[in-house]
Structure 1
Amino acid sequence: MQDLCKRIGIDWPIFQAPMAGVSTPAMAAAVCKAGGLGALGLGASTPEAARDAIRATSAATRRPFNVNLFCHAPARADAAVEAGWLAALAPLFRRYGAAPPAELSEIYRSFLVDDAMLAVLLEERPAVVSFHFGLPDRRRIEALKAAGILLMASATSLTEARRVEAAGIDVVVAQGYEAGGHRGIFDPDSHDDRLGTLALTQILTATLFVPVVAAGGIMTGGGIAAALAAGAAAAQLGTAFIGCPESAADAAYRTALAGEAAAHTRMTAAISGRPARCLQNLFTDWGETHPGLTPPAYPTAYDAGKALNAVAKAMGETGFGAQWAGQGAPLSRALPVADLMDVLIAEMQKARGE
């Protein structure tokens, strides 16, 4: 634990998850100022927007922070699948006086093929860069490491974690099935053993030679202490920070997180095309009634999901949003980041008898 924190240059083994669409420079900087590792979720950003976010965070804190990117396989268009998906969604669009898009597009570019994003990272040189959904090629990994950047990558299984270690990545993030947001599984069409955070953490720490960070369902200092006791070098929390005022979550998302839906999260591919854990809402319910329908490839399906959310929200219905949250969501606390970090540290120290 102390070795990894010292290597990064932080005081506490508390990492904020890089939640695309939710994390902000203000959030990341506040976590950093409190001694943890703040993060920016830039997988859905253009290189220009990524540069702006990195510079805004650097202007707010001199402490190290994490920049996260998506390494999914670029989407392959399938006209038949996309037409079938839009036809199935059409009744929902009509409910709000709209029609589905005529066609769908790949709205996010994977880091696997984004040399412009690589150039931004090499220019700005954030202290930490992390990957989700897989790994970049050796050229990108070597370029980032040569720039002095510490690299992390998510893994949902021992097989994936071994690939991360073999690629020369410095830290493995053990993403348990409890985690909110997108499942980091490398191949979403492969079998998922759905390992929980503590089980996965223990398996990886007993097998790997690199540090392991536990992620998924951790909401309290007691949960952080449990992850550390399981062998983790640090704990990564995402849902715990959604209710903070520094978060970019909208009012509907915050209301849902504070309500009954928090106790009923669902893993769904209906919203984006890849499995992701969401607060139970109208979109997750719809997905469960269409189990045999194949969504378009990620992130093409997300183009339809975002369009549906926009038309529904314009009519006052917020139940089609991507309200990602982990299984620990009922423990969410709507505190400023600095106050939440103080609470987490105090709870962790108490649980560890410090």
Structure 2
Amino acid sequence: MLERLGLNLPIIQAPMAGVSTPELAAAVSNAGALGSIGVGATDAAGAGAMIAKLRARTDRAFNVNLFVHRSPVPDPSREAAWLSALDPTFRAFGAKPPTTLRTIYRSFAEDEAMLRLLIATKPPMVSFHFGLPDGPRIAALKEAGCHLVATVTNLAEAQAARRAGIDALVAQGIEAGGHRGCFDENAADDCLGTMPLVRILASQSGLPVIAAGGIMDGRGIGAALRMGAIAAQLGTAFIGCPESAADEAYRSALFATEARHTVMTRAISGRPARCLRNRFTILGDTIEAGVPDYPIAYDAGKALNLAAKAAGESGFGAQWAGQGAPLARTLPAADLVARLAAEMAG
């Protein structure tokens, strides 16, 4: 896979939707690794603009990541109960919660415009999170020449990806920041760590494996390669880069004591995701009402964050981070890639 994509280094920058930018991805790709953009939080027009910006900055390979979540099931009574539980916090910031909640992200499983865009633009690599597209979508992308990769959290998901025609796997350990890539977020989660998962998949899946979760430096990358991975995907490590879209509050929290205390929460978006412990995660632990489906719950989460920020409070953001967050560094992306490569060699 690395040779096909023309990579000099077994390093992939994770496609963090809302944090990764074309500037970040291009800097990583130009440095000999693989840059990524996440387009799951935008539509085809937005994705097209991001791909164009990226291609204007690099002629190297890059990855475009998509969300393939199941369609949410609206539940007006559950959503009303959730908004009622959030109401006192909204009012503390001089705001009111939304009267209703929307499905703010469309799954690639049903987004024909996004499929047409990808076929037309032919990204070298296309990756999937939360599940797999159907056979015709996979066939169309492969026909366009895209190398297809899926995030998995266990062997059963890996086997499903292989049967579907996926080319490689991202083995996402429980240490990883951001959303768990489980195909079914309501099924039992074995919570496998990155290294055991990599060994299992490298020996039993029949597909190339990319390690993801808690890896922050060259030593971590080297360990993953020794476990059988062909590359490592790092997300939290790139948040501190000036090219990322992380806001100042997010960066400050990443380099403060909050980095030592990541937690898994559904409260922000409706799906399990690892985040820096902040006021939103603490609030979520106290609410007894059931969280609405992803991404319906995220509509409320984003509204609450906006209300809090308007009142000068930064502790309600989606500050995704993995367990390796205390090892984060502030370096330009190209310098970070060079540092990772030197650490691997040393």
TM-score normalised over the length of structure 2: 0.99
**Residue 335 (1) aligns with residue 340 (2):** no
Matched AA of 1:231? G
- Looking at structure 2, the residues matched to 150 and 130 of structure 1 have their Cα atoms a distance apart, in angstroms, of 8
3-state secondary structure, aligned to 2:211: strand
Task: Report the counterpart of residue 164 of structure 1 in structure 2.
Answer: 161
**Residue 200 (1) aligns with residue 197 (2):** yes
Partner residue of 1:244 out of 241, 245, 251: 241
**Residue 131 (1) aligns with residue 128 (2):** yes
Matched AA of 2:310? A
Q: Give the alignment of 1:186-225 within 5 angstroms.
A: 186-225=183-222
- Looking at structure 1, the residues matched to 83 and 97 of structure 2 have their Cα atoms a distance apart, in angstroms, of 6
- Looking at structure 2, the residues matched to 52 and 10 of structure 1 have their Cα atoms a distance apart, in angstroms, of 24
1:5 offset after TM fit, Å? 1.1
**Residue 97 (1) aligns with residue 94 (2):** yes
**Residue 280 (1) aligns with residue 277 (2):** yes
**Residue 6 (1) aligns with residue 6 (2):** no
Range 74-83 or range 133-142, more displaced = 74-83
1:76 offset after TM fit, Å? 1.4
Task: Report the counterpart of residue 47 of structure 1 in structure 2.
Answer: 44
- Looking at structure 1, the residues matched to 284 and 306 of structure 2 have their Cα atoms a distance apart, in angstroms, of 18
Task: Report the counterpart of residue 291 of structure 2 in structure 1.
Answer: 295
- Looking at structure 2, the residues matched to 10 and 60 of structure 1 have their Cα atoms a distance apart, in angstroms, of 17
3-state secondary structure, aligned to 1:286: helix
Partner residue of 1:326 out of 322, 325, 330: 322
- Looking at structure 1, the residues matched to 266 and 54 of structure 2 have their Cα atoms a distance apart, in angstroms, of 32
1:75 offset after TM fit, Å? 1.1
Task: Report the counterpart of residue 72 of structure 1 in structure 2.
Answer: 69
Where has structure 1 moved over 2 Å in runs of 4 or more?
none
Task: Report the counterpart of residue 81 of structure 2 in structure 1.
Answer: 84
- Looking at structure 1, the residues matched to 332 and 42 of structure 2 have their Cα atoms a distance apart, in angstroms, of 25
Task: Report the counterpart of residue 63 of structure 1 in structure 2.
Answer: 60
3-state secondary structure, aligned to 2:241: coil
3-state secondary structure, aligned to 2:214: coil
Matched AA of 1:162? Q
3-state secondary structure, aligned to 2:29: helix
Partner residue of 2:342 out of 327, 346, 351: 346
Task: Report the counterpart of residue 271 of structure 1 in structure 2.
Answer: 268
Matched AA of 1:146? E
Matched positions, count? 346
After superposition, the C-alpha distances for 1:165-224 in whole angstroms (9 at most, x for unaligned) are 111000010000000000000101100000000000000001022100000000000000
**Residue 142 (1) aligns with residue 139 (2):** yes
- Looking at structure 2, the residues matched to 161 and 34 of structure 1 have their Cα atoms a distance apart, in angstroms, of 30
- Looking at structure 2, the residues matched to 288 and 87 of structure 1 have their Cα atoms a distance apart, in angstroms, of 15
- Looking at structure 1, the residues matched to 311 and 182 of structure 2 have their Cα atoms a distance apart, in angstroms, of 35
**Residue 154 (1) aligns with residue 151 (2):** yes
- Looking at structure 2, the residues matched to 63 and 98 of structure 1 have their Cα atoms a distance apart, in angstroms, of 46
1:293 offset after TM fit, Å? 2.7
After superposition, the C-alpha distances for 1:253-292 in whole angstroms (9 at most, x for unaligned) are 00000000000001000000000000000001111222x4
Task: Report the counterpart of residue 305 of structure 2 in structure 1.
Answer: 309
- Looking at structure 1, the residues matched to 223 and 285 of structure 2 have their Cα atoms a distance apart, in angstroms, of 33
3-state secondary structure, aligned to 2:56: helix
| RMSD (Å) for aligned C-alpha atoms | 0.6
**Residue 232 (1) aligns with residue 229 (2):** yes
- Looking at structure 2, the residues matched to 126 and 349 of structure 1 have their Cα atoms a distance apart, in angstroms, of 30
Matched AA of 2:331? L
After superposition, the C-alpha distances for 1:313-336 in whole angstroms (9 at most, x for unaligned) are 000000000000000000000100
3-state secondary structure, aligned to 1:173: strand
Instruction: Give unmatched runs, 5+ long, in structure 1.
Output: none
